[in-house]
Chain A
Amino acid sequence: MTAAMSGSNTAPPVLSVNGLTKAFGSRRAVDDVSFEISPGETYGLLGPNGAGKTTTISMIAGLLKPDSGHIRLCGFEDGPTRREARAHLGLVPQDLAIYPDLTARENLVLFGRLQGIPRRRLRERADEVLDVIGLSDRSGDLTKEYSGGMKRRLNIGIGLLHQPDLLILDEPTVGVDPQSRNAILESVEALSREGLALLYTTHYMEEAERLCDRIGIVDQGSMVAEGTVDELLRITGEADAVSLSGSGSVLEATRALGKANGVVAASGDGTTISLTVADAPTHLASLLATAAREGMAVTDVDVSRPDLEDVFLHLTGRALRD
């Protein structure tokens, strides 16, 4: 590997995308997109349908040639145009990409051979992957007989087969039932725990929030914001709404909480206190302690935070899901 060290003390990113642009005719499907993914990191691309997520991924995987921009993949400067670079990449495409008239094992073996895995090793590795995706007992059945969830799992398994350094998952939960969806999310979490770097695209903000260390929000080809969930939530400038209900010295507690750390505004009637808090998760414990000290017995706490949906609305003036 010709790993190019960028920083001196940090590990080089597994993927670094710079100024990526791709137009179809006059339409810019991807417009000057830049981001980096560190080893072990789960990076999310969150955006509505047509935002340019799949086009971005197709360029990273070498399927589409960018009009301009630069992709450094696992240390390879010229990105996916180098075959060796693609060996470090696992792709789980948005559409199922499996042969329906082959068995799960045959599909795995085909892609394993394309990845250059030696025959003997491939047999073991196929078993391992079948185990991970829970298809061991159905591995000899043609995949056209599989349920949608099973096909999705195989689709993911093929991407994992050659133990890539970066796994790209393009909307892996679209069109699956809630149960399979949860199974998929759990296996993605497991992969992340094992230290695999992930690029995860979705238009479901709950998935991005749940899975991703950092998220890039994309809309109409452009990246409109990027950061951790907390960083993104701060963009709106909207604080969290916390309401405390209970009995005892509610009015005293209201007064004390109004002066507490992180509280922007406080108001209360006899039984409920409504607070506007800059960062509720950080301050919630001390707020509850303050209320107790003032003699209020809190029976109910409700925190409502602005979510990525609000962030997207704030940034684009449109809803994430149409």
Chain B
Amino acid sequence: MNVVAAIATTALRRYFRDRSNYFFVFLFPLLLILVLGLQFGGIPNMGTVGLIGTGTGARELSEELEQRDLTVQHFDDADEARDLVSRGRIDVAIELPSRWAEGERDLSGTVRITPSSFAKGQAATAAIRQAVASLADRELALGSLVSDGVDRKTAEHAFDRLDSVGPRLSVTKAGDRMENEFQNLGQFDLGAAQQLALFVFLSALTGAIPLIQSRELRVTQRELTTPISTLQLIVGEGLGRIAIALVQGLYIVAGTALLFGVSWGDPIATAATVTMFCGASAGAGLVIGALMDNVNAAAGTSVGVGLVTAALGGSMMPIEFFPSGLLVISRVTPHHWAYRAFATIQRDGGGIGDVLGPLGVLAAMIFVLIPLASVLLRRAVARP
């Protein structure tokens, strides 16, 4: 244990001796939090919707959407709205069937929803579907009252009174999981969890670089001629990297919670998830560091792998929107399991007992990656 500690503390000492690393541990996560804050704004905002048309039907939908914390902008030109979506200026464009938009009680036709490819666009789409469904339900109910001979005005009045009398019965359709999925989630909560995974993993992957440098310096080779095992060396290096990743991860959790009121949920479950995710991330960094001999190539690979796994693991688009094939592939990333754990903790108020599954997978990743790195390092030191 003393041996492992000696290697871990040396890794940390060397890391923090390079002053520029203070930036990555303490300042960069803070900047990241600030950028997140700006992106989502201080007030909860599910996204901005471009609604085409200005008729009664459009106005009704607009009210429904605003009730769901979406910001609505009205457009006359569908192309203009879609163009803004593709440029990321608004999150979704909605085009109602023209008769509905004008206020006719005719729900036939298709509602065209054009979301941006960003997480917010996807999440807003879920809220829009809910809003449209709710309007449609109301219209169906009204329609059946009218056909039973009730005057439309009276029927609408009755519905409006129903609203103000409350408690309102919220009906969510079974089978459309998506509607429920993000309900207990401030949008900022999702983004913070996604960014944490992306950043911590990326940062941990660059832990490959000091591992390669130690080999270039021939220190690794010399260490392996002392009475220590390769596994001890890898675990020591790994613990050093996990400590750095943990500081970054917990810093992001604390920073977003304090500054932007992100609700991370149960602290123990969150800390456990961050820890296991840091472990798996550091393990992946060690594997790259043992596999590759060139620092520049390793840095490039780390960034590439970091971004691709982040995308696959739900750090860019929520995995709920993944087609099933992609969802299967997604499971190889630690992000996927961290995402699922965070989802349980944040949305369902889950505790540590509820996330043992995803944490178990992350633990299994650690137990595969660390010995793998050890074997690869043995080979690496035999190379000239």
Within 8 A of A (CB), among B209-254: 214, 217-219, 221-229
Q: A97-B217, A97-B219 are in contact. Are A63 and B224 (CB under 8 A)?
A: yes
Interface segment, one of B9-17, B61-69, B110-118, B184-192: B9-17
Contact indicator B221/A93 (Cβ below 8 Å): yes
Contact indicator A110/B6 (Cβ below 8 Å): yes
CB < 8 Å: which of B5, B217, B227 contacts A87? B227
Query: CA of A84 to CA of B227 in the docked complex: distance in angstroms?
Result: 6
Contact indicator B225/A98 (Cβ below 8 Å): no
Contact indicator B218/A63 (Cβ below 8 Å): no
Contact indicator A61/B217 (Cβ below 8 Å): no
Q: Write the A43-83 contact mask toward B (1 if CB under 8 angstroms, else 0).
A: 00000000000000000011111000000000000001001
Interface segment, one of A11-19, A99-107, A217-225: A99-107
Say which size band chain A's interface belongs to: 20 to 34
Tell me the A residues contacting B by CB distance below 8 Å: 24, 61-65, 80, 83-84, 86-87, 89, 91, 93, 95-102, 106, 109-111, 113-116, 158
Tell me the B residues contacting A by CB distance below 8 Å: 2-3, 5-7, 10, 13-14, 17-18, 214, 217-219, 221-229, 381-382, 384
Query: What distance in Å separates the Cβ of A289 from its nearest Cβ neighbour in chain B?
Result: 54
Query: CA of A116 to CA of B227 in the docked complex: distance in angstroms?
Result: 8
Chain B, Cβ-Cβ closest to A87: B227
Chain B, Cβ-Cβ closest to A29: B384
Query: What distance in Å separates the Cβ of A23 from its nearest Cβ neighbour in chain B?
Result: 12
Contact indicator A93/B218 (Cβ below 8 Å): yes
Q: Tell me the interface secondary structure of chain B in the complex.
A: helix
4 additional contacts (CB under 8 A) given A64-B382, A114-B3: A61-B225, A80-B225, A110-B10, A114-B228
Contact indicator A113/B218 (Cβ below 8 Å): no
Contact indicator A101/B18 (Cβ below 8 Å): yes
Contact indicator B10/A102 (Cβ below 8 Å): yes
Query: CA of A111 to CA of B224 in the docked complex: distance in angstroms?
Result: 10
Contact indicator A113/B2 (Cβ below 8 Å): yes
Contact indicator B222/A93 (Cβ below 8 Å): yes
> Which residues of chain A come closer than 8 Å to B3, judged between CB atoms?
113-114, 116
Contact indicator B225/A62 (Cβ below 8 Å): yes
Q: A89-B225, A114-B226 are in contact. Are A101 and B219 (CB under 8 A)?
A: no
Query: CA of A110 to CA of B223 in the docked complex: distance in angstroms?
Result: 9
Query: What distance in Å separates the Cβ of B76 from its nearest Cβ neighbour in chain A?
Result: 64
Query: CA of A106 to CA of B11 in the docked complex: distance in angstroms?
Result: 12
